[in-house]
Amino acid sequence: MCHSEPILTASCGSREQPPRVFEPGEIRVFVNEFLQRRDVFLRTSQRHGSPLYVVEESILLERAERFTKAFCRTLPDMRVYYAMKSNNHPAVVKTFVDAGLSLDVSSGMELQIALDCGATDIVFSGPGKTDRELDLAVANREWTTVLMDSRGELQRLQRIAQEKDVRIRAGVRLTTDGEGLWRKFGISLRNLAGFLDATRKCEHVSVQGLQFHTSWNLEPGAQVNFIARLGDTLRELSPHQQSMVEFVDVGGGFWPEQGEWLQSYDTTDALVPLSISGNCHYRRLSVNIEEFADRIAQAVRVHLLPYVSCRIFTEPGRWLCNDAMHLLLTVVDKKADDLVITDGGTNAVGWERFETDYFPVINLSRPELVERKCHILGSLCTPHDVWGYGYWGKDIQPGDILLIPMQGAYTYSLRQEFIKPLPAVVMLSESGVPTKNSIRDDNER
């Protein structure tokens, strides 16, 4: 699965903030936080082998609590739905369910995992839902709200619910961009009134709200702007149509506050990092979740609440899980002073992420707060199997244990069966021991 920067930008919306130089001192502070816990990671690698995903339960719980507090402080009548597509590992999902979060699923597979994890409040979003997936949602209607993507989906959901002689809760997804690739999702605002009228003929589908989603949000401008546009549309609806809107789901796309870390300034060319001299990295800045909450809440009060009395839903994924999962690798071959091969390949993350994205490769076996140039490559039979272009440590040799931190979002759920086995997963408690939720995954060793 190959994700190039132009495709991501076109499909997720433009990120206009230019990258800026990432100060080495800031990265050293980040790396040192993990070196302070190196013994925990080394013990885990010794016990479970590598390559290995390591999940820290305490971070998942802390993120869930902080996100919920930030939004409930300004919008008391709100619900948080963890977006499973960002990381669908059952132990991660179950941790969030046990912490009181609801779930956002985008397929029948995810819906079944959510049900197996004991979720009792689920929104089912995503385009192109099959009849089998809609049938599963209808069969579990007590816990599931279907966010419909089109009139065709409305008609199919009505037929399936009618055949079972039941009624299912639903919402309407709105597209935030009627032009580019983003028009794949939902209907346009100008068609909302007609869509709501069409639901009157579908007595087995109870429309109760609206949903939209903007992605790659380093700050809440895109979300706030669409809330304003939505308010203009709500103002023009009839009183009956307005009364149908019992919730507005503002989606997710909240970027973690450390921002986006990049290998180079020019992220449109994946080959650029190969010719970089020195260890200069770049970043785009993001605001903290409290600012997201404050600005979104203000927009809701100004643009939505004058016309509808609604609860607010959010669908965070990346923000909740990104920081909690790390990768452990072992160096198996040193081919030159500036080239080593690890036992794990980037099929573990599912795409050529580190040709453009930067995260420090930390040598736990030979720690030092210095980054040294070196091609850190995986063991797949492809030249795109890149972990990084340097490591933090005093040296690097076969047998060394490497840590790539904060790989919890859009890595595990994109992993692929390609050439090499996938890593196992171990979840650690705060004390650094495996928890009851640890799952060895598909490749038990």
SS (H, E, C) 265-289: CCCCCCCHHHHCCCCCEEEECCCCH
- More confident of the two residues 318 and 180: 318
Cβ neighbours of 194 (radius 10 Å): 10
| Average confidence (pLDDT) over 175-192 | 90
The better pLDDT of the pair 12, 183 is held by 183
Tell me the pLDDT band of 443, cut-offs 50, 70 and 90: very low
Mean pLDDT of the region 123-144: 98
CB 171 within 8 A of CB 211: yes
Q: Which of 186, 183, 136 is nearest to 157 (CA)?
A: 136
Residue percentage of the chain with pLDDT more than 90: 84
How many angstroms separate the CA atoms of 425 and 441, rounded? 6
Instruction: Convert the pLDDT of each residue in 362-399 to its tens digit.
Output: 999 999 999 999 999 999 999 999 999 999 999 999 99
Cα 388–Cα 394–Cα 399 angle in degrees, nearest 5: 70
Asked if 122 contacts 106 with a C-beta cutoff of 8 angstroms, the reply is no
Write the pLDDT tens digit of every residue in 5-43. 443 343 344 456 889 998 889 999 999 999 999 999 999
Mean pLDDT for 91-107 is: 98
From first CA to last CA, the distance across the chain in angstroms is 26
Measure the CA–CA gap between 437 and 196, rounded to whole angstroms: 43
Provide the pLDDT for residue 325.
98
* Phi, psi (rounded to 5 degrees) for 19: -65, 150
Domains belonging to the chain, first-starting first, are 5-55+323-428 (2.40.37.10), 57-321 (3.20.20.10)
Residue 55: what are its φ and ψ, rounded to 5°? -110, 135
- Contact at 8 Å (CB) between 398 and 331? yes
Q: How far apart are CA 264 and CA 284, in angstroms?
A: 11
Q: What is the pLDDT of residue 264?
A: 82
Helix axes 151-164, 131-139, angle to 10 degrees: 50
Average pLDDT across the chain, whole number: 91
Least confident of 180-184, 259-263, 272-276, 336-340: 272-276
- pLDDT, tens digit, 9 for 90 and up, residues 330-345: 999 999 999 999 999 9
